[in-house]
Amino acid sequence: MTKHIFVTGGVVSGLGKGLSGSSLGRLLKARGLRVAMQKLDPYLNVDPGTMNPFEHGEVFVTDDGGETDLDLGHYERFVDENLTTNSNATTGSIYSSVIAAERRGDYLGKTVQVIPHITNEIKRRINRLVSDDVDVIITEVGGTVGDIEILPFLEAIRQFRLDVGRNNVCYVHVTLVPFIGPSGEQKTKPTQHSVTELRSRGIQPDAIVCRSEEPISSHLRRKISNLCDVPVEGVVNAADARSLYEIPLVLHNEGLDNYVCDLLGLGELEIDLAPWQALVKRVEEADTSVRIGLIGKYVSLPDAYLSVVESLNHAGIHHGADIEIEWIQAEEVEGMLAAGRLRDLDGIVIPGGFGERGVEGKIAAAGYAREHNIPCLGLCLGMQVMTIDYARNVLGLANANSTEFDSRTLHPVIDLMESQRDVTDMGGTMRLGAYVAQLKPGSRVARAYGEEVVSERHRHRYEFNPKYRTRFEESDLQISGESPDGRLVEFIELDNHPFWIGTQAHPEFKSRPDRPAPLFRDFISSAMGRAEGRNPQLPSIAADAAATADS
């Protein structure tokens, strides 16, 4: 029977429930178990797709087109399994389903209530992942114990243990053990209060993950055990780590996976952590610094670009490089160019986004990278601004633009497809999820992927305007990837440039710490070459990195 692990959080948000659950999933998979993961979010939005990135960070997209919470990115990167729309449920989507069922008469005229109707729908969402191909499902409950929005979820997972049997459910609670400077002590009281709140909802945690800046003492561990009624071996410490990819090893050394396996009756399965240990060692041994400028609209909240940052780090791990990210506000780029503040960058990434704000800065950054031979990778909107820059400044199409930003532009090099013009629902014009692309033989993109048919995830509504395709292809800019029917441009690249490549897709969503996305891998290789050229004292590793990428 499928086993269930529920991860809750207390004291404050942002403690790392998602990373704790992901790390535990990695450890269980390293034992040969088949692991699935999901996130229950308490907000009323149906999904995060319409939320401002400042509100909720990035929107992670699954292969089947689900717009989901960013924690699903952690899940995929750690467990290395492609998740689906079923791996994320919100209060909004749950209430929408229940109300729709009531309107259809599914409840036969009964009064619809939080208990049992909402809680039953939550349990149904959890059970959607149950199958003969899954041994363990790890479900993270978003929010913090004590929030009013979280109550139906806590009630649902409390009932779940009764439904499937006590031996098939484990509750893991993530809390904070803060250090109080004036007294020079770590305090357990927040953890005690958090567990008391959870127990008041009928849930006794089986394990407590104590987050702290520094390791906690065995005395504090025993104190938490006694006051929270959790065995000492179930009180584990996740002190701040140097790298998030070190967290699985920290939790393993604390014995969390052994304890959970014993609790759920999963047996004494051998664990193989050698590949993950080798990964962490490569992170620690990175000996080359590469400066990457990330030109964004939401740089004050780095989580808005979480998958992009992790993909850069994955490529850095692959090449033995330490990635230093320069967070550059798109609206400030034009002033920075005048001061020459971008010339010391080893590479520039222009990520996706929506709306007009900051677009001219992104266009200027793409042009600067093109003119000064700085490696540049454009993602989604990034590819579009590269197209606009090239149209204006190389092809001579004055004031070329996207109709997203200027509906009256004389040269709409980026535009809605004809079939989308009459769609009034903006969500209906979105291209979401995995789409196949045919790559141009011999192109740099094809060499990076090592194949000519690839699949990447998308999240956008505007496209390269095919009416201008011939103008571009008659220049040094290649259309190096397109949809199988030839209608949609998926990749562009510039000849005679170290690396100036854009993609309409979001390859960052499929990158893994031990298997970096091909474009990010080759981008960092090129950036390392520039870093070496600017600093001849660096080890001559860029050529080796390029050879590795080509192979």
Give catalytic residues, as residue numbers: 380, 506, 508
Q: How far apart are CA 318 and CA 74, in angstroms?
A: 19
∠61-55-93 over CA atoms, to 5°? Answer: 55
Task: Please report, to the nearest 10 degrees, the dihedral formed by the alpha carbons of residues 214, 289, 73, 522 taken in order.
Answer: -160
Contact by Cβ (8 Å): 254, 237: yes
Contact by Cβ (8 Å): 518, 481: no
Query: Residue 314 belongs to what H/E stretch?
Result: helix 306-319
In terms of residues, how long is the chain?
551
- Burial class of residue 253 in the structure, from the number of CB atoms within 10 Å of its CB (0-12 exposed, 13-18 middle, 19+ buried): exposed
- Burial class of residue 396 in the structure, from the number of CB atoms within 10 Å of its CB (0-12 exposed, 13-18 middle, 19+ buried): exposed
Contact by Cβ (8 Å): 88, 68: yes
Beta bridge partners of 140: 7, 39
Beta bridge partners of 212: 239
Helix ranges (DSSP H) in 373-466: 381-393, 444-449
Contact by Cβ (8 Å): 349, 315: no
DSSP state of 323: E
Q: How far apart are CA 49 and CA 348, in angstroms?
A: 26
Give residue 486's region: left, alpha or beta (phi > 0; psi -120 to 50).
left
Contact by Cβ (8 Å): 68, 60: yes
Q: How far apart are CA 388 and CA 491, in angstroms?
A: 14
Query: Residue 20 belongs to what H/E stretch?
Result: helix 17-29
The total of other beta-carbon atoms located within 10 Å of residue 43's CB is: 17
Type of residue at 381: L
3 state DSSP class of 152: helix
Helix ranges (DSSP H) in 394-468: 444-449
Please, which residues have CB within 8 angstroms of residue 24's CB and are 6 or more apart in sequence?
Answer: 5, 7, 138, 172, 248, 251, 256, 257, 260
Laid out side by side, the sheet with 477-482 consists of 321-329, 288-296, 347-350, 376-379, 500-503, 489-494, 477-482, 431-439, 453-460
Please, which residues have CB within 8 angstroms of residue 329's CB and are 6 or more apart in sequence?
Answer: 296, 297, 299, 300, 358, 361
